[in-house]
Amino acid sequence: TQLLEQSPQFLSIQEGENLTVYCNSSSVFSSLQWYRQEPGEGPVLLVTVVTGGEVKKLKRLTFQFGDARKDSSLHITAAQPGDTGLYLCAGPPGYSSASKIIFGSGTRLSIRP
């Protein structure tokens, strides 16, 4: 069974600090996506990475796809209270799975003013 493990599960930091969230698997993924979900809302897609070693930047957020396409990271620089939310990585499973997409367990991020 393909799994996506995220760490840490919870993270509470002060505004202005930097942080990194990890998404790891023992399986290769053809692509990985990162979502942010705020309370009372559905997840919103932040980025899709498709090439091993790929780095994408979205303002203060930097996403990296591992060379072997088994892991990904999300780095936030100078975190702001608006970054608070549940961060989810997701990817298409292998051929053995009927599921269209699998999600990691999520990292709940809280930025204190």
Question: Where do contacts with other proteins occur on this chain (CB under 8 A)?
Answer: 30-31, 33, 40-45, 48, 50, 88, 90-92, 98-106
Minimum Å distance from CB 104 to other proteins? Answer: 7
Of 6 and 71, the one with the shorter C-beta distance to other proteins is 6
Q: What is the spatial distance between Cα 110 and Cα 94, in angstroms, rounded to a whole number?
A: 33
Minimum Å distance from CB 35 to other proteins? Answer: 8
Sole residue written with tokens 């990691």? 104
List of residues 6+ apart from 46 with CB closer than 8 A? 33, 34, 35, 36, 58, 61, 63, 74
Minimum Å distance from CB 20 to other proteins? Answer: 21
